[in-house]
Amino acid sequence: MPTDASGSATTTSVRSMISAVGLSKHYGPTLAVDQLTFDVKPGHVTGFLGPNGSGKSTTMRLLLGLDRPSAGSSTFGGTPYHQLQHPLREVGALLDAAYVHPSRKARHHLWGLAASNGIAKKRVDEVLGLVGLSEVANHRVKTYSLGMKQRLGIAAALLGDPHTMILDEPGNGLDPEGIRWIRDFLAYLAKQGRTVFVSSHLLSEMALMADQLVVIGQGRLMEEGSVASIVDRYADKYVRVRSPQLEQLVALVIAKGATSTMTPDRAAQLRGVPVEAVGELAAANNIVLHELTNESGSLEEAFLNLTGVAQQYRTTAVPTAAGQATTPPPSSSSVPSVSPPSGSFPPPPPMQTGGRS
Ligand SMILES: Nc1ncnc2c1ncn2[C@@H]1O[C@H](COP(=O)(O)OP(=O)(O)O)[C@@H](O)[C@H]1O
Ligand SMILES: [Mg+2]
């Protein structure tokens, strides 16, 4: 995965960096955003992950100057949104409430936006092509599927060829193929060096779309970093071992200070001991091994560990006597798995670059 410490730290990078410093927003007694400080760098898809009601949309509205912060500030390359000379040419946005009159034709809708922002008409056909809507550009928006409407919203956001894109839950309500399309398209924008900031409350979606994460809970910053580093830090890590002499091996490992849990398939999960030490202990004691692997939990587990105590609207959580919430099982229906595409969907955009590596 490329790091921006390399050659890409150009003036464009500085120009397109999103920075929030001490950003807060009160709605009466509700503290929707609580002293958020984070940076979003160019050349990456940065996921803005948090449970429903954690303040993602509010934060995005604050960034875009659609709401006034109670405290703190945010900038694009050092400039607050309302001071940008040509906001549409610098920052494109697709918010939840993106709305197009249903009886308008997509091309006419974009012509209107282009004209009112001093953007050449030919750019409309360019962005329609980019999002794969050229062939349906003269259809009325009411005939569009949700995925096509999301593409139209992205086309509108791209009209000014902005270096920064902000998208609030673009995957909401989309089928797996629609989410896949958005993922590929955002990766394509990031590869061009743009800054892409995209929110979701679903980790399964975020794991597919983003390579960097800003995680919030109850308006507060919980974590910031690469998806891999967050999984590494928060996911449950253990050594899985199977052996016909399992009890003997487990006793030896526990004597070294590790802990052990048995699984239904008669394997032991060992925590607090490196996999090498288990192998060496087995060899030194002539213990036969049938399996010895390093295991790590999913992003979902990392996310639940991170936001579990901060989740406001988790109905499946049961508070324990210790005051800690127990998390729902990984098979929770709120986190759908993403399966291969099915059915028909308009063609993908022309990709100049390959998918993410
Ligand atoms: N316009 C508003 N007036 C009052 N409360 C609001 C308003 N917008 C958001 N909130 C509250 O702020 C909190 C954060 O909401 P939101 O930013 O929409 O979260 P998310 O996008 O992460 O689901 C919630 O408690 C929500 O009810
Ligand atoms: Mg929201």
What would the pLDDT profile of 169-205 be if each residue is shown by its tens digit?
998 888 888 889 899 999 999 999 999 999 998 877 8
Position 300 scores a pLDDT of 73
Position 15 scores a pLDDT of 63
- 73 secondary structure, DSSP code: E
Match domain 237-293 to its CATH number in 3.30.420, 3.20.20, 3.30.70, 3.30.1660. 3.30.70
- Each domain of the chain, given as residue ranges in start order, spans 13-232, 237-293
Question: Which residues are registered as beta bridge partners of 221?
Answer: 216
Looking at the CA of 24, which ligand is closest?
Answer: 1
Q: Whose CA is nearest to atom 5 of ligand 1?
A: 27
For residues 15 and 82, which has the higher predicted lDDT (pLDDT)?
Answer: 82
Instruction: Look at 29-33, 46-50, 95-99, 282-286 and tell me which has the smallest mean pLDDT.
Output: 95-99
Bridge-based pairing state of the strands 220-226 and 268-271:
unpaired
Q: Is 57 helix (H, G, I), strand (E, B) or coil?
A: helix
**101 C-alpha vs ligand 2 centroid, how far in Å?**
22
Share of the chain above pLDDT 90, in %: 62
How high is the mean pLDDT of the chain?
82
Question: Which residues are registered as beta bridge partners of 45?
Answer: 196
Q: Is the CB of 27 under 6 A from ligand 1?
A: yes
Q: How far is CA 221 from the centre of its chain?
A: 14
Position 344 scores a pLDDT of 33
Question: Which residues are registered as beta bridge partners of 239?
Answer: 270, 294
CATH topology for the 13-232 domain: Rossmann fold (3.40.50)
Closest CA to 181 of 345, 1, 353, 354: 345
Q: Is the pLDDT of residue 325 over 80?
A: no
What is the chain's length?
357
For residues 43 and 303, which has the higher predicted lDDT (pLDDT)?
Answer: 43
Are the CB atoms for 352 and 129 separated by under 8 Å?
no
pTM of the model: 0.76
Distance CA 156, CA 114 (A): 9
Distance CA 17, CA 9 (A): 10
Q: Is the CB of 217 under 6 A from ligand 1?
A: no
Q: Is the pLDDT of residue 314 over 70?
A: no
Q: Is the CB of 32 under 6 A from ligand 1?
A: yes
**53 C-alpha vs ligand 1 centroid, how far in Å?**
6
For residues 309 and 40, which has the higher predicted lDDT (pLDDT)?
Answer: 40
Q: Is the CB of 58 under 6 A from ligand 1?
A: yes
Q: Is the pLDDT of residue 268 over 50?
A: yes
Q: Is the pLDDT of residue 257 over 90?
A: yes
Q: Is the pLDDT of residue 317 over 60?
A: no
**141 C-alpha vs ligand 1 centroid, how far in Å?**
28
Q: Is the pLDDT of residue 331 over 50?
A: no
Q: Is the CB of 147 under 6 A from ligand 1?
A: no
Contacts of 11 (CB under 8 A, 6+ apart): none
Bridge-based pairing state of the strands 318-319 and 325-326:
antiparallel
